[in-house]
Amino acid sequence: MAASMLGSAWGPLRLGLPGLCRRRPPGGLWARARRLPGSAGSGRSVAAASGSGASGTDRYCMELLRKRDYEGYLCSLLFPAESRSSAFALRAFNVELAQVKDSVSEKTIGLMRMQFWKKTVDDIYCDSPPHQPVAIELWKAVKRHNLTKRWLMKIIDEREKNLDDKAYRNIQELENYAENTQSSLLYLTLEILGVKDLHADHAASHIGKAQGIVTCLRATPYHGSRRRVFLPMDICMLHGVSQEDFLRKSQDKNVRDVVYDIASQAHLHLKHARSFHKSVPAKAFPAFLQTVMELSSVLTAARLQWFESALPLTGYGTLSSLNTLFLSLHVGENTL
């Protein structure tokens, strides 16, 4: 999987993703974008987006997303009104699981927290959720959209296995992790949007894998600051790169080749997803919007600018939130 071998597969990668971005968004999407709240720093933004009838648990989920998954927060604001609170609940659930690994000092504590969420999901499907804001909102989403329990459990199980703090042995392991976490999240998001379509599911599978690979790349500077490297070992070994090279923030060509190869895998999955663009219902568009917002990260990773100015895990630096969102919409027009 050397960079030279994948050069033709990468091709002229343009931010617009031509194949993914041809059909117009569903009606009302631009109008909803223009009514978005202001900057991320305003507490009133969350209240405005929640609406006067929003519950405390709903606002809790929105605030959690605003702080921990800002891109997901922005994209969820563009969901239809009847799906928006459920999208916030689902993404807040994902945030709760994602932050376990970095918030515990011992694996045993992390396993206990994962067990809590397993029991919580079981209780949700028995109509007895615990008195926890995310759990209550997730229960409402399950009742409202008849969400598939299997996808929720897959996310928990995969996050639990990932508590081991081990690098991925190969790119396939990373793709499996992404499929069981990011793709499962997209399957549930499609259910929230009322989309039951095989082509949309296939696209979600590839987009989820691409997002998982990109997230792994984006997080490398952060993990390096904590003396951890999770990039696939097979690609590192192919180019003779050690974990210490990443910890030293080496800019050697072989390190750049590792990043290029991994980013190329993400691009290949986006290319596969693009092949479904004529078949996926326009109603599925909001589920894939975040992919457009993450394309700049793929490009930046491929050019290896990440060590000089580490990619932000949330938000978009000095760009205002609205400018970033409108840029993504303008560039993509549509995701599938």
Three-state SS string over 24-68 comes to CCCCCHHHHHHCCCCCCCCHHHHHHHHCCCCCHHHHHHHHHHHHH
The pLDDT of residue 277: 85
* Number of domains within the chain: 2
Residues 136 and 68 in one domain: yes
Question: Over the stretch 243-262, which tens digit does the pLDDT of each residue have?
Answer: 999 999 888 889 989 988 99
- The reply to whether 209 falls in a domain is yes
CB neighbour burial string for 308-319, b if at least 16 within 10 angstroms, e if fewer: eebbeeebbeee
Residues 169 and 207 in one domain: yes
Residue 185 has pLDDT above 60, yes or no: yes
Which pLDDT band, with edges at 50, 70 and 90, does 328 fall under? very low
Residue 145 has pLDDT above 90, yes or no: yes
Residues 171 and 282 in one domain: yes
- The reply to whether 73 falls in a domain is yes
The pLDDT of residue 289: 83
Task: Give the residue with greater pLDDT, 268 vs 11.
Answer: 268
CATH for 271: 1.10.600.10
C-alpha separations of 101 from 33, 111, 335 in Å: 34, 10, 31
- The reply to whether 65 falls in a domain is yes
Which pLDDT band, with edges at 50, 70 and 90, does 241 fall under? very high
Distance between CA 53 and CA 130 in Å, rounded? 22
Residues 138 and 179 in one domain: no
Residues 177 and 139 in one domain: no
Task: Give the residue with greater pLDDT, 21 vs 230.
Answer: 230
Output the six-digit token pair for 79. Answer: 């969901």
User: Whole-number mean pLDDT of the chain?
Assistant: 79
Task: Give the residue with greater pLDDT, 296 vs 17.
Answer: 296
CB atoms within 10 A of CB 122: 12
Which pLDDT band, with edges at 50, 70 and 90, does 102 fall under? confident
Which pLDDT band, with edges at 50, 70 and 90, does 24 fall under? low
Residues 112 and 241 in one domain: no
Prediction pTM value? 0.79
Contact 260, 302 (CB under 8 A): yes
The pLDDT of residue 115: 97
What is the pLDDT averaged over residues 81-110? 94
- The reply to whether 269 falls in a domain is yes
- The reply to whether 183 falls in a domain is yes
Residue 303 has pLDDT above 80, yes or no: no
CB neighbour burial string for 285-297, b if at least 16 within 10 angstroms, e if fewer: bbbbbbbbbbbbb
Domain membership of residue 174 as a residue range: 165-307
- The reply to whether 333 falls in a domain is no
Residue 208 has pLDDT above 90, yes or no: yes
The pLDDT of residue 134: 97
The region of weakest confidence among 225-229, 232-236, 261-265, 292-296 is 292-296
Output the six-digit token pair for 104. Answer: 């515990």
> By percentage, how much of the chain surpasses pLDDT 90?
54
Residue 237 has pLDDT above 90, yes or no: yes
CB neighbour burial string for 28-61, b if at least 16 within 10 angstroms, e if fewer: ebeebbeebbeebeeeebbeebbeeebeebbbbb
What is the pLDDT averaged over residues 2-17? 37
Residues 130 and 231 in one domain: no
- The reply to whether 322 falls in a domain is no
Domain boundary (116, 147, 178) is at 147
What is the pLDDT averaged over residues 74-79? 92
Residues 131 and 174 in one domain: no
- The reply to whether 257 falls in a domain is yes
Residue 286 has pLDDT above 80, yes or no: yes
